[in-house]
Amino acid sequence: MTATVNNGEGSATVTSDPYVIVSCDTHIGPRLEQELRPYCPKDLLDDFDAFAGVIRQKREAAASRRKMLSFGGNDDVGDDWGVRFANLETEGHFDMHARIRDLDNDGVAAEVLFHDSQNGEPIPFQTDTLLMRGADTGGQDFELLRAGQRVYNQWLADACSIEPERHVGLMHLPMWDVDAAIEELQWARSVGLKGVNFPSPKPYLTPYNDPIWEPFWSACEDLGVTFCNHGGAGSSGGMGPGAMSIAKYEISMMARICPMDLLIFGGVFERHPKLRLVTTESPGLWWKFVLQEMDSIYLTDTRSYGPSEKQRVPRLPSEYAHEQVFIGASFHARFEAEDAIAQGYVDRIIWGSDYPHFEGTFQKDAVGPNGEPMTWASLRFTYAGLPADEIAKMLGKNAMNAYDLDYEALSRVAARINAPSYDDLNAAKVEARPRDSGHLAFRTFGFWA
């Protein structure tokens, strides 16, 4: 049966039509020795092979301990960490055709691709990765890392050329050198990469509110790239007692404010109104509170420090955020969706799967309560019964504005893959987290639970 749902705002959703779903958060992990080595310049092959050898030894050592990656140096493994390592077996980590099959089965029409898929394969010569935030980068060879970024960017551009309308590949830039970053940005955009992997502040990066960045902002605005920041900034807990919990708390707090605060208070968004930032994997009920706090600071400072503050940032921080910032809602929870609807920021939300991370919605070879892909079960858990048009915005329509995607092209993709409709999401209620599901894909409160 086909029905039309009208939410009273002049828009309507045919409930049997498949949703256009865009994941703001996926990860890819081309293997050093198989996929990336052919892209390495010949004069760097010896360095490349030495680096790959070290990584191979670390990966094999971790696998020999418990047949999986080692996280946080903790030998005690609970169910969440030990059950769903089947995700390491999908070839979608490094093979775009296999990856597309996984996306099709989940019903995901398009994706934003971050590096670091939990398969232990770093960008060549990089010592600071998503899963190595506590690593000592004092020995990082930045000249080699720049070459390694080019190797990865070229491979990623080639991978994204397969069904290109479905992929937003994120370029890695030498952000420690603004001129070099602009040069790599222009090249990477010319070969098809559409977004910037926008790192959180680090000791070796000039703060983003420094005027030295102005040519970079202008270049990004001219090229129409999107800044995509991924939660996972460094924490202060080291490897001591409680380190994992400390890291989780600090990561969740920082993901909600930074680098948004630098771009707003630094006047970057005021000077460059076409720039867009997606704060990816930043769950929780933080949007209203953070913007209120920023507005409070702004109103105090513009009164206290004279007209120069207001000249640099003439509007409330919340106004810039509502125009230029999106929430990358990885493994979006029902309480978050309900809050976005109630508080009026639905148009800032972009759903994310976190594919193929084991904590996300995709689970290889696992099925939900009704025999469907686990991603479908997660979507039903979150969105069943909510307004159809609001769901459409959060699942995909907002992503069109954030990443400059083609809705008509992706609608055709959705029609031929396993994309769920409103009727599908309401077919059967998911009451609790299913067995063999990602542990963050069925949250009921906060960032982690």
The residue-averaged pLDDT of 340-344 equals 98
d(CA 299, CA 177): 34
Which is more confidently placed, 47 or 283? 47
- Model pLDDT for residues 258-301, shown as the tens digit of each residue: 899 999 999 999 999 999 999 999 889 999 999 999 999 999 98
Confidence class of residue 349 from pLDDT cuts 50, 70 and 90?
A: very high
d(CA 167, CA 330): 17
| Count: domains in the chain | 1
- Model pLDDT for residues 392-419, shown as the tens digit of each residue: 999 999 999 999 999 999 999 999 999 9
The residue-averaged pLDDT of 10-25 equals 87
Structural domain includes residue 342:
yes
Host domain of residue 347: 14-425
The residue-averaged pLDDT of 202-230 equals 96
β partners of residue 367: 373
d(CA 140, CA 395): 39
Confidence class of residue 72 from pLDDT cuts 50, 70 and 90?
A: very low
pLDDT at 71: 38
d(CA 395, CA 111): 11
Question: Does residue 96 surpass a pLDDT of 90?
Answer: yes
Structural domain includes residue 153:
yes
Complete DSSP assignment for 344-393: T-GGGEEEE--BT-TTSS--TT-B-TTSSBHHHHHHHHHHTTS-HHHHHI
CB 378 within 8 A of CB 370: no
The residue-averaged pLDDT of 307-318 equals 90
The CATH number assigned to the domain holding 353 equals 3.20.20.140
Structural domain includes residue 1:
no
pLDDT at 383: 98
Confidence class of residue 257 from pLDDT cuts 50, 70 and 90?
A: confident
β partners of residue 170: 195
Numbers of helices and strands, H then E, in the chain: 18, 10
Structural domain includes residue 432:
no
pLDDT at 201: 87
Question: Does residue 341 surpass a pLDDT of 70?
Answer: yes
Question: Does residue 245 surpass a pLDDT of 90?
Answer: no
Structural domain includes residue 6:
no
pLDDT at 240: 74
Percent of the chain with pLDDT over 90: 73
Structural domain includes residue 8:
no
Structural domain includes residue 187:
yes
The residue-averaged pLDDT of 103-113 equals 99
pLDDT at 247: 75
For the entire predicted model, the pTM comes to 0.92
Beta strand pairing call for 12-14 and 4-6: antiparallel
pLDDT at 68: 43
